[in-house]
Amino acid sequence: MINPQLATERLILRLPVLEDFDAYAALVADEEAARFIGGHVSRAVAWRKFLMMVGAWQMQGFAMFSVIERATGRWVGQLGPWRPEGWPGNEVGWAIDRAFWGKGYALEGASAAMDWAFDVLDWDDAIHCIHPDNAASIALAKRLGSSNRGPGKMPSPYEDSPTDIWGQTREQWRARRHARAFA
């Protein structure tokens, strides 16, 4: 299994490790934080979901990273490339612990993950599956330069959850990144 680690100004993005589980379980137990990522779950279900990400790294060579705050070593959340069976496309997604909302970590980490997905995984396109009521994730998708492509169909057990597909191509991402570098 590959073991990538990405560093940004304030974050480390790395593979999940066992020590991340307590913080992950707290995130997915928080009704507000988990509202748009499948809903809050018990610790036992959180364990299975946590292992699913580790398994995706093993089987696919990519999955969401654990996000670590460089200054403190605290687990911030998870984000990165993701493509489960039946998913509507190659997604770069995010889930941030509520204690870290409003700090710009999702934008910082998702930008690094987008670079990695396009440059290392050689994706041509990246999407974000976002519930239409999730204003914070919609704002983040817009800040990343993604546009709303319309409603999407999610696989079971999420088929009844309304989802808009936001996204952009590798060329759009690179053009935007290039424009920012010279702004």
3-class SS of residue 45: helix
Q: What's the half-sphere exposure (Cβ side, CA atoms, 13 Å) at 44?
A: 0
**Among 165, 135, 172, CA closest to 151:** 165
Tens-place pLDDT, residues 146-156: 999 999 999 99
Domain positions in the chain: 5-181
Amino acid at 175: A
State the DSSP code for 10.
S
pTM as predicted: 0.93
Tens-place pLDDT, residues 15-46: 999 999 999 999 999 999 989 888 899 999 99
pLDDT of residue 124: 98
DSSP secondary structure, 99-155, as one string:
GGTTSSHHHHHHHHHHHHHHHTS--SEEEEEE-TT-HHHHHHHHHHT-EEEEE--PP
CATH of domain 5-181: 3.40.630.30
**Among 145, 128, 147, 148, CA closest to 179:** 145
Q: What's the half-sphere exposure (Cβ side, CA atoms, 13 Å) at 139?
A: 6
Tens-binned pLDDT, residue by residue, of the chain (183 aa): 578 999 999 999 999 999 999 999 999 999 999 898 888 999 999 999 999 999 999 999 999 999 999 999 999 999 999 999 999 999 999 999 999 999 999 999 999 999 999 999 999 999 999 999 999 999 999 999 999 999 999 999 889 999 999 999 999 999 987 677 665
CB atoms near residue 178 (< 10 Å): 10
